Amino acid sequence: MDFNLSEDQKLIRDMSREFAEKELKDYAVEIDEKREFPKNVLKKMSQLGLLGLAIPEKFSGNEMDILSIVIAIEEIAKVCASTAVICAIHNLVVSYAISQFGTEEQKRKHLPKLAQGKEISGISLMEPDAESLITDLDLITSQQGEKYILNGKKRLMLGGNTADLFLVFAKDEQSKIKIFLIEKGMDGFIFDKEENTLGLRGIKSCELSFEKCQIPKENLLGKDMEQTLYLKKISDMGKIAISAVAIGIAQSALDMSIEYSLQRRQFGKTIAEFQAIQWMLAQMESDITGARSTLYYAVALKGESKSTGKECAIAKLTSAQVAVKTTINAIQVRGGYGYMKDFPLERMFRDAKSMEFIMGTLQTQKDIIAEKLLKS
């Protein structure tokens, strides 16, 4: 496995970095404070091709490999985690799922719009009473002729009533998984209250109700027989997406810590000259390198079409923990200034904490890893 970046990967990294620095650095504060969904930024991203990264060229996308997309998301997450999560789920989960598993009609209908930012997408897995494991769904679907009827509730759905297309996970009366493409405005698909979250405030999480929501048969993702397989693959991609965001946040916290420790003087020297600070920086670097390696390894296996359930869970577990630990330590390096809202670190810490929940808790990842260990 070669983790050296190709020229194309360096190009997408540099382009994403430049875009995030120019368009997001100041705006990230507003996104957080006003709980603003960054629709205008997403429009600009679509013009650069950043919303069609996983989409085949014939559907107006850029058809990039997964590692290139991960690298782009890391760069955006360094500056604004909310925007990075939207971009990560849009590219690596929804666009990927339709590109890989969708019917020709679904591809033709949605992929060009997703690539051009005319449809912004989200996923809806989580439910008020379901447990962390994504097979424990309560949203029930029954079939009536050419339609499915959905009844139930969902929580914490990215995009709220600002997004346009949602990948919604449900179960039928025989407990079989069904994955639907649901468009804003469908009858019986109701946005309830917006959730007021500690971090990731720009993603506009909200509660949803499905009240006799009628979904045409052609909105079932891909083939009926393959739904459980899709769920596993989509869930793995979700973990890759969130790991990339978590690593971007951690890397940015380290970069800020290095810069600050070389400037801040105490007792006649820079704080970077104190071994206690040096060790914190060294620990951050080791943790991030470790987390990034687990992520890139999972991505490489995915590229070889190998089984990745355990490796994606390891990447998600490791990178979420590293994001939280690194942002806490970066606040420490900055002293009292790190705790102030005038600087981005307190927001980055709040955003980092959400990485431990979204696409499954740390405990759920450990369950997946342990199950695999004990089976083999």
**Min dist. Cβ of residue 19 to ligand FAD (A):** 23
**Min dist. Cβ of residue 50 to ligand FAD (A):** 19
At CA 295, angle to CA 361 and CA 78, rounded to 5? 85
Per CB under 6 A, 157 contacts ligand FAD: yes
Which residue in the set 71, 93, 120, 158 belongs to the binding site for ligand FAD (CB under 6 A)? Answer: 158
Per CB under 6 A, 327 contacts ligand FAD: no
Cβ closest to ligand FAD, residue 9 vs residue 235: 235
Cβ closest to ligand FAD, residue 52 vs residue 160: 160
Give CA–CA dist 273/265, Å, rounded: 9
Which residue in the set 86, 92, 200, 277 belongs to the binding site for ligand FAD (CB under 6 A)? Answer: 200
Stretch of 47-55, 156-164, 249-257, 285-293 contacting ligand FAD, by CB under 6 A: 156-164
> Which of 194, 179, 162 minimizes the C-alpha distance to 94?
179
Per CB under 6 A, 139 contacts ligand FAD: no
CA 318 vs CA 100, 127, 293, 325, 363: distances in Å = 27, 25, 10, 11, 12
**Min dist. Cβ of residue 7 to ligand FAD (A):** 34
**What binding mask, one character per residue, do residues 337-366 give for ligand FAD by CB under 6 A, x or -?**
-----------------x--xxxxx-x---
**Min dist. Cβ of residue 126 to ligand FAD (A):** 3
Cβ closest to ligand FAD, residue 147 vs residue 372: 372
188: left (phi over 0), alpha (psi -120 to 50) or beta: left
Cβ closest to ligand FAD, residue 62 vs residue 354: 354
Which residue in the set 79, 156, 241, 312 belongs to the binding site for ligand FAD (CB under 6 A)? Answer: 156
Cβ closest to ligand FAD, residue 147 vs residue 350: 350
Cβ closest to ligand FAD, residue 103 vs residue 132: 132
Which residue in the set 95, 162, 197, 257 belongs to the binding site for ligand FAD (CB under 6 A)? Answer: 197
Residues 205-244 that bind ligand FAD (CB under 6 A): 205
Q: 3-state SS string over the chain?
A: CCCCCCHHHHHHHHHHHHHHHHHHCCHHHHHHHCCCCCHHHHHHHHHCCCCCCCCCHHHCCCCCCHHHHHHHHHHHHHHCHHHHHHHHHHHHHHHHHHHHHCCHHHHHHHHHHHHCCCCCEEEECCCCCCCCCCCCCCCEEEEECCEEEEEEEEEEECCHHHCCEEEEEEEECCCCEEEEEEECCCCCEEEEEECCCCCCHHHCCEEEEEEEEEEEHHHECCCHHHHHHHHHHHHHHHHHHHHHHHHHHHHHHHHHHHHHHHHCEECCEEHHHCHHHHHHHHHHHHHHHHHHHHHHHHHHHHHCCCCCHHHHHHHHHHHHHHHHHHHHHHHHHCHHHHHCCCCCHHHHHHHHHHCCCCCCCHHHHHHHHHHHHHHC
Cβ closest to ligand FAD, residue 248 vs residue 360: 360
**Min dist. Cβ of residue 364 to ligand FAD (A):** 6
Both tokens assigned to 298:
């999972």
Binding residues for ligand FAD, total number by CB under 6 A:
21
Cβ closest to ligand FAD, residue 9 vs residue 124: 124
CA 71 to chain centre: 13
**Min dist. Cβ of residue 8 to ligand FAD (A):** 30
**Min dist. Cβ of residue 25 to ligand FAD (A):** 22
Residues 78-137 that bind ligand FAD (CB under 6 A): 122-126, 131-132
Cβ closest to ligand FAD, residue 52 vs residue 122: 122
**Interface with ligand FAD by CB under 6 A: which residues?**
122-126, 131-132, 156-158, 197, 200, 205, 354, 357-361, 363, 367
